[in-house]
Structures are given as C-alpha cells and as structure tokens.
Chain A
Amino acid sequence: MLRTAKPYDIIIIGGGHAGIEAAFAAARLGCKTALFSVSLDSVANLPCNPCIGGTAKGHLVREIDALGGEMGKVADKTFIQSRILNRRKGPAVYSLRAQIDRRQYQDEMKHRLELQENLDILQGEIVKINVENGAVVSAQTAAGAVHPCRAVIIASGTYLKSRIIMGEYAVDSGPDGLFGANQLSDCLRELGIELFRFKTGTPPRVNAKTIDYSVLGEQLGDDEITPFSFESTVETMENQVKCYITYTNEETHRIIHENLHRSPMYSGGIEGIGARYCPSIEDKIVRFPDKDRHQLFIEPMGLNTEEMYIQGFSSSMPQDVQEQMLRTLPGLLNAHIMRYAYAIEYDCINPLQLAPTMEFKAISGLYGAGQFCGTSGYEEAAAQGLVAGINAARKLQGLPPVVIDRSEAYIGTLIDDLVTKGTLEPYRMMTSRSEYRLILRQDNADARLTPLGYEVGLISQERYDRFLRKYEQVAAEIKRLEKVIFPPTAAVLEFLKEQNSSEVSTGIRAAELLKRPEITYKALAQIDKAREILPADVFEQVEVSIKYAGYISRQLSHINQFKKLENKKLPDDIDYERITGLRIEARQKLTKIRPHSLGQASRISGVSPSDIAVLIVWLKQGKF
C-alpha cells in the first residue's frame, strides 16, 4: 500500500559520511531536507579504519572544513591520537591523520544531525525514486511512504545488494551485520543508470587483552596537536592512546600461500573489482613476492572498548585461516579475533554519468555521492556529499552551480577524475592524483576555500572575519621578514654556525635566511628579537610562503596554463561526429561525456593530445 507522506525539497539516501555532509549542507542552505538510513544506529559508522585523514585524505578533511562541512569538527572532538604523516618531507605532502573513537564519533555526529534545523533524520529504506519528464518527483520507502521531493541524493555506500564474503562463506548483508539495500539497484537500472560491482574489504579486530604489547613497536601521537578544523582550539586536544606496529613474516606468508585456493579472490568467489591501493594481505603477498615482510598497525577502536583494528591485514580468507595467519604475528600469538576480516561486494555507478555538480546528466534532480559513485574512503565520500548537497540546494534556489576545479582543491581533483576519467576500481584519493599539490596543501586549505564557503553560505560571518584576520597577520609578518636585516654580528654568525648554514659577510634579510633549507622560522627566533609571538597556523603559512616561494610561483604558472584550456568552453551543441579529424574513439567519448571545456576534454581517456589540437583549431576556425 502506497501513501503520500511528508514532502521535502531534498531527500538523502544513506547516513554515512557522504549523506551526512549532503544533509548538513542542504539543510543549512535552507532546504527542507530528509536523511534516510536503514538503521539510525549505523549513522556515521566507521566500518573499516577507526581513523580519519591520512595522505591526501587529511587534505580533503581540511577542505571540507573550509567549505563549512562537519567531518573535521567531529573528528577533532572525538579523536584519541593525532599525527602528521610525512613530516620529514615537504609541506605539500604533510598529511594529518587522527585515530577516532568510533562510537563517540557516531554519537556526536548523529546528535548534531538531530539538532540541525530544516533536517529530519529517519530510519527507513528507500526502494524507489520516481522520475517524471526526466526529473525527480518523489522517493518511496520499503514501507510504502511516498515522499514528494525535488531532488534526491543517493549516498548508499556499500549497501546496494551488498554481500559479505569470508572464504567459502558468503552472505547477503551490509557491513557490521546491518541489512543491505536490495531493491534500489533495480530501480536505478530501470532509470537507465549503468551500474558497476565493486569490492572492498576490512581486516580483523582483536581483543586488546589478548595482545602481548611487550614485543610490539609503539607509535605515539604528535606532541603538538594540529586540528582538522579552523574552528577547533588546540589547547583542549590531547592524545589518549598509543598505536602499535608489528610485521608479517615467512610463516604468515606460507600459510597464505597454502590456503590461496580457499581465498574467494583467487577461487573466483568474488566478481567485484577491488582497489589496487587498498589490497588485502593475500594480494600483497602474491603481488610483491620479493618483500619478506609487511608492516601492520594495531589501532584502538575507541576508549570504551578493547577492540583493536589490525591495519594492513585485510583479508577474505576463511575464518580458520585468518586465525592461523594472525597467530604468526609477533605480539598476536594468542590474539582472540572479535570480528573476522571480510570482503564486501556492492553495486555502485559508473561515475561518468555525473556532471561535476554530482547530478546525473540524464536525470534532473538526481545526485550521487560517496562510495555509490565508485570511490572508497570516508573523506572522499564526505567531500562528494558536501558538493552534492550544495549543488542540489543551489539548483532548487535557482543559483548557478558550484564547481571546484583541479587547481583549487583535492575535492575538485577528485570529482573531475570521477566525472571525466571515470574509474574501474574503488577510487582512493592520493597526493599524486593532483598536478598542483604544492598549491593544494593541507595547511592552506582555509585560504583556498573559505571565501567560497562564505559565499555559498556555509561559513559564518564570525569565522570569515577571523579567517581574514589570520591572513592579514600572515601578510604583515611576511612583509616584516622581507624588511628585517641581520647585520653580520657575532650573534648572527654564531647562529648560522649552529644551524650549519653558510656565513654571511654583509647584512642579510630575514626572508633570505628563511629560504635556506636548513633554517626554520622557529630557529630564527634566536636572532629575530623583534618578532611577535604568532599562532602556529600563522607562522606556518609565513614560513611555507617564503621558503618555497620559487617553487610555488612556478607551480602557479603551471596553473595559469591549465586555466587557459579550462576557460576554453566547448559549446553544448557541438556535433563531434562531424569533426572528422577526431579519431572515432574520441568522437564517441566526447559525445558521451560532453566536457564543458577543452581542459576537461583533454583529460578524457581515449581523447589524445592530437584530438585536442584538432578541437583547438576547430574552435578557432574562422577566428584566426
């Protein structure tokens, strides 16, 4: 029995990281919004790693925060250990990662959703999306409630027709024993949407009391904690747990080899496509036979639990093999598994069907976000959810779309990759996916995106003013350092000697000294007596801007090149079939994807540089 139920502007399917950001954005921008989840106890679940951030992912969280998203704030509130990775490398690849108390994170996030104006959160499975004249008109629950709406954002994660596999055992189920969503896929197919089947996996969790810590390496958090969010205050943040390190060995590898025939990845029990960048331990051993050991991290799942997550030990082996494998690891000889590792298969879409706004090109008002669009990772999901939420709201309000390009953010890079290149495996963000990583640093995400967040309406006036003040301070300090001259006094020479830096015979500007790789802003304090005490995030900007000025300006000039092609718009009505200089594959791809600019066209696989050259000349024809 169908019934007409409460109407909404925007309905969001799924309460994971994508759905959450979409819901907050849509509701905060004034749309009547509903978020449906198959179980409200699974909202904001971290079904895999109990951590947020990491290489490139930390950048995404910072960017989400600068646009007014929620992930960073809640991570800062519920983290139990925080660390910056790649500290010894350059600032472009510093990456913030935090271990999270999983339960606390879920509770905090759910509570915030409950408090949000304009937002209803409901337990229920959406099984059908009704489309009339090419536009979304309503969404229907399994119980028969038909909610009229003007837009739907699908953020179904790994739940569509999900199937869990451990060796020979397989069961239709969502993660963590939750129900999957088994009907929506069919509706999507009927709407003409192309589906893929992807696979991902997770390692076992073991009980802490059965681990022998005495033989494990420890990994501690940073002494000085860096928050994700611009709005968090560092003073109250503290590391509360340790992580541990162990390694696989010959014995582990032997057990895996002997039981490979029982792994569904190799016996053919799994049809979904997995991510190369997130391989199971059996994949690693098969693909890197020369490596005699693999590093594993043992991470606590929270403060009020003894569950420990064995990072790097994903597996789809049968339970008995998992036990044997685990007991070969130093410190885990007697470990008791609480949750076994498993692989999970699920339906997702070919993201080439989406526009950069995350809207389906063929169905007005239908959006996708998160793992549903072929990605993997909480942060990737949240980023898409935020963009989908913003754009769905803006469309309903008659405002122009917000599209972030590759030179502005990892978020832009992520979405451009998805909708331009597509993906044939779960897509994970990496710093190497960006051509402009020196500009897209995590430390300047606020500078890059706060103005946009403010303009869109997700950043408060108070925060925006504080942001402006920060960059005024940065500019003033840079100016000061460019003026201050240190004469070659005994104190200065002594300082240079201490820093293993070459001598000076004449006065030298502070900015010049700071450009030397061996001299840090902090160390410079010894001779820079006139300086004011500045907050860490301010002097960090100052230091990076001065120290790497040459590199930054060269990358900026690359960005100018990029923008030129990006600004060459391709008219919507180009008939690519008629441009016979294009190779046939290029004509087909261009017709399918309909890129908005020459730049986007140049990134489509199957469109070669010579095709782009043809388009450039074609666009100019008659205008030379």
Chain B
Amino acid sequence: MKNDTIAAIATPIGVGGIAVLRVSGENAIEIAQKITKLHNKDAGLHNLHNAESHKLMLTLIHQPNDENDIIDEALVAVFTKSSYTGEPTVEINCHGGYMAASTILSALIESGARLAEPGEFTRRAFINGNIDLTRAEGIIDIIHASSELGLKNATNSAIGRLHERINAIRAEGLLLAAHIAAIADFPEEIEEMEDMEFISAVKNIQISIKDLQDGFKTGKMLRDGIGTVIAGKPNVGKSSLLNALLREERAIVTNVAGTTRDTIEEYVNLRGVSLRLIDTAGIRQSIDAVEKLGIERTISNVETADLVLFVVDVSAEITTEDLSIARLCGGKNVILIANKSDLPARYNHTELRAALDLPDVEVVSTSTPSNGEVSGVPELESIIAEKFKLGEISGENVYIFRERHREALLRAGLAVERLIEGAESGVPRDLLSVDLEEVLTSLGEIVGTTVQEEIIDEVFANFCVGK
C-alpha cells in the first residue's frame, strides 16, 4: 500500500504540556473521525470532513467503538491541502505525558492507521514534492543545529554556496575528463596535454578538496557545539566555574535533551558558537558518585571531548588525584584553570604546569567565590575563542558538517591522491580517468548529481518516528 494511512506521536514522549499526534494518508480524516467527537460550537459540522482546513477545533477523543469512553480532550486540526506530507492530514493536540498520547495512538491504529516508520512523514513529503532532498537534509540539520552560526550554516544559502564550491571543483575535473576522452576518440586531431599541465590541474583540484575537508571540524563544531568537559577533583570549583560561565553569558541557549534522554547537556553561547558542557548536570548532582567512580567516569568524558577545562585549586597543594587527571589530559585540548586565585596562591602558572607535567598548556587564573566578584571568565572565553579560531569563522564561509559529505570528500581526496600518483609514475591517462571519475561521482554525491540508494536511505534514516 503506497498511500495507506500512517500515524505517530510527533512530540517527544513524556515532555511538555501537550503532545501532538499526526495522522497522514488517504483515509486520515476518516480514521480520525472514528475517535473524534466535535465540541459545542463545531458540533454543527457533524463530521471532520466538513471542517475548515488548518483550523483548530476543540474535540473529545474517545475509543473507536464507544463514543462515551472518552480518552482526552484535544485540539484537532484537519489539513486537506498543503499539509507537511502533501496528503490529507489530521493533527491531534492532546494533553502531555505518556498515557493520553499513547492511548490515542492505539485508538488510531485500531481504527485503521498504521504506525509510521521513522522518517515516513518526511519521505511522503518528499515523494509528493513538498520538499526536495536538500531540504530534507536541511530539516535534520535544523533539528540538530545547536547555535546561531550553526543554524546559519544549515540554512539554504549556505547549502547553495557549498553546491557552488563543489560544482566549481567538478567543472575543473570534467574539463580534464573531457580532454582525456577527446584525445582517445580523436587521436589524429587533438594534441595531448603536457604532463606538467595535467598534474598541476589535478593538484588544484586536490587543494580545493582539502580546503573543504579542513572545514569539517569547524562545520561540525558549528552544528554540534564544542564538546567541553570540566574536569577536576571534587571541591576545586567546577560547578562554580560552570555557573560563572552560564552567568557571564546571559543567553543560556537551552537544556537540550539528548537522544537517550538520560543525560543533560548545558549549552553556553560563546561568540555565536555553542560550548556544549557535557554531563555537567550529572557531575553537579552526584559529587559522591564522581568520588566513587573516581577517574573512570572522567576518562570517557575526557576522551571524547573537544576541549577539557581542567580545574585545580591553586590555593591548595597538588594531590595525586590532580596528577591522575593531569595524566588523562595529556595530548588533549586542555586549558588549565587555576581557580580560587582570590586566595593566596601556592603556585604561579609556570610552577603549576611543571607540577602537573602539562608543559605547553595554557593557564587561566579564575576566582568564583559564591558571594564575591567572579574573575577570569572573560580571559577564559578569549582563550577558548582563540583556540578554536572562532574569530575566523564567518557566516559567509562554507563549512561542511554532514558525515555523509565528509565521507564523500574523503573518497574524492583519496581518488585525487591516486590520480596524482598515477600521473607522476606515467600511467596512461585513460586509466587515470577511472580515478578522475571517482572524484567526480564522489563530489556529485554531495550536490545530488550522483544518485545512490544508500544516500537516500541514509538521509531518511536520520529522522525519528513522527517526522
């Protein structure tokens, strides 16, 4: 059944005051009708089929076979035209929490709807021409984007510029491919390009690809934020530092629930980029647990972090605990926070580095007394900004951020490498065109000139049920 009717809960389970269910397909209205009783002033309509499109109506939602077995009171809207999916759609806004929404979903399924697969609403929107593939991907990016610049990078103008860049590289490659083809097909009429010229043209392509590849870190940082771990033994002032960061930056972005919904990440906006303070909620709430789990917990956090803020109490003696954390930080992107600098310090910065055996790490002195003046936070922010070259990031540049794009560029890059190697060792051009074509198809995947089923699957696999 291509157009069977699907239903799902479109809002996260268990969060918020209302939950939204979406029903889409040829029989959406008919199916919704089976569990809906119109309220008072709309009762004259008798039937959802008569309802005005895009208008919310107060209704009672009941079990399919018993009008008096009420499940919830809900606002219902019917979309007969220009719905998200392009199909007849009914949206039911019921009370939040788990029970109401899931009971209504069961009632819908009992009435003939099928539970939607992940991404199925967007897939239908796509088939019905409401969105194209780039927009489908863009929707995912917007769902995931964590900061202003990230959002800007995810919007269509940035996508347009990425496509321009890729197409320009492809054009250079196509020129070479056309030349190789022409000398093969018209050997008596066309002169072959000199090796030097050929290789330098390929190297230009290599540079362009590398430029784009280099933007991935930035792009990913824009989209996901800078994963930051505040590490340190208990009572050195980690939570106060966090609070200071949050306080300094009045625009606290939000509490974003992660996919597993059991860890909370705090976002702090730093010059347009998100500082994603990982798992700090956990650390704050269970200092004991940290003590119990010791270094183990910190290990995994530190390992995956983009940035570690290693906090020590500069007024106290360095302990073995500090040293073991310092060892973890070796080789990572670390800023050493000499906290409690309002108290008499036992170490200056040089001594601190030496004591912790972190010779090249930058040190910032901070103080975060709970009732006094906070200091050092602006300096810390400047250092972070410098470390991640935030000043160089411009909303006008293009940074790739999708894993799919990174992977395609990687393949293009490898193919270019082989191409140069082959050309330099005298492999005939028509053989090199195998690698050249790989460059072109890989880049084509990014701009959508190469269609592969896997790509389509991947795009839609990123959606969750209800989208």
Contact = CB atoms under 8 A, between A and B. Distances in A.
Interface of A: 55-56, 85-86, 88-93, 277, 294-295, 297, 430-432, 435, 437-438, 517-518, 548, 551, 554-555, 558, 561, 564-565, 568, 579-583, 602, 609-610, 612-614, 616-618, 621-622, 624
B449 A609 contact: yes
Which 4 residue pairs spanning A and B have beta carbons closest together?
A: A432-B181, A90-B428, A581-B129, A93-B184
A548 B427 CA distance: 9
B456 A616 contact: yes
B431 A551 contact: yes
Contacts of B438: 554, 558
B63 to A, nearest CB: 27
Contact of A617 (B126, B182, B431, B437): B126
Contacts of A618: 2, 127
A85 B186 CA distance: 10
Contacts of B425: 517
Interface of B: 1-2, 4, 86, 117-120, 123-124, 126-130, 132-133, 178, 181-189, 425-431, 433-435, 437-438, 441, 448-453, 456, 460
Given A86-B184, A437-B433, 13 more contacts: A91-B428, A92-B184, A277-B185, A431-B430, A432-B178, A551-B435, A554-B434, A568-B453, A609-B448, A612-B451, A616-B456, A617-B123, A617-B127
Contact of B434 (A91, A295, A297, A551): A551
Contacts of A518: 426
Contacts of B427: 90, 517, 551
Contacts of A55: 184-187
Most B CB atoms within 10 A — which of A518, A551, A555, A561?
A: A551
B457 to A, nearest CB: 8
A565 B455 CA distance: 13
A93 B428 CA distance: 10
Given A89-B429, A618-B2, A432 B434 contact: no
B428 A580 contact: no
12 contacts: A55-B186, A89-B430, A432-B181, A437-B184, A438-B430, A554-B438, A558-B438, A610-B133, A614-B129, A617-B126, A617-B460, A622-B2
Contacts of B1: 622
Nearest to A553: B434
A239 B311 CA distance: 88
Contacts of B182: 432
A581 B185 contact: no
A554 B189 CA distance: 30
Nearest to B182: A432
Contact of A580 (B4, B129, B426, B437): B129
A613 B127 CA distance: 9
Given A551-B434, A554-B435, A432 B185 contact: yes
B118 to A, nearest CB: 8
A441 to B, nearest CB: 10
Contacts of A85: 187-188
Contacts of B448: 609-610, 613
A602 B453 CA distance: 12
A565 B453 contact: yes
B448 to A, nearest CB: 5
B294 to A, nearest CB: 45
Nearest to A431: B184
B430 A621 contact: no
A432 B182 CA distance: 8
A88 B124 CA distance: 54
B358 to A, nearest CB: 45
B94 to A, nearest CB: 27
A295 B451 CA distance: 42
Contacts of A93: 184, 430
A432 B118 CA distance: 42
A621 B453 contact: no
A573 B457 CA distance: 25
B127 A89 contact: no
A388 to B, nearest CB: 26
B460 A90 contact: no
Contacts of A622: 1-2, 4
B122 to A, nearest CB: 10
Nearest to B119: A624
B443 to A, nearest CB: 13
B183 A624 contact: no
Nearest to B131: A581
Contacts of B188: 85, 295, 297
Contacts of B428: 88-91
A92 B430 contact: yes
A401 B133 CA distance: 37
B127 A581 contact: yes
B431 A430 contact: no
B290 to A, nearest CB: 43
Contacts of A616: 451, 453, 456
A568 B456 CA distance: 14
Nearest to A219: B188
A475 to B, nearest CB: 22
A47 B438 CA distance: 41
Nearest to A516: B425
Given A295-B188, A617-B126, A437 B430 contact: yes
Contacts of A579: 127
Contacts of B456: 613, 616-617
B435 to A, nearest CB: 7
Contacts of B119: 624
A613 B119 CA distance: 15
A574 to B, nearest CB: 10
B414 to A, nearest CB: 11
A580 B87 CA distance: 11
A244 to B, nearest CB: 13
A277 B189 CA distance: 12
B233 to A, nearest CB: 49
Contacts of B430: 89-90, 92-93, 431, 437-438
A564 to B, nearest CB: 6
Contacts of A612: 451
Contact of A432 (B184, B429, B435): B184
A72 to B, nearest CB: 21
Contacts of A568: 453
B451 A609 contact: yes
B2 A431 contact: no
Contact of A431 (B118, B181, B441): B181
A438 B426 CA distance: 17
A219 to B, nearest CB: 10
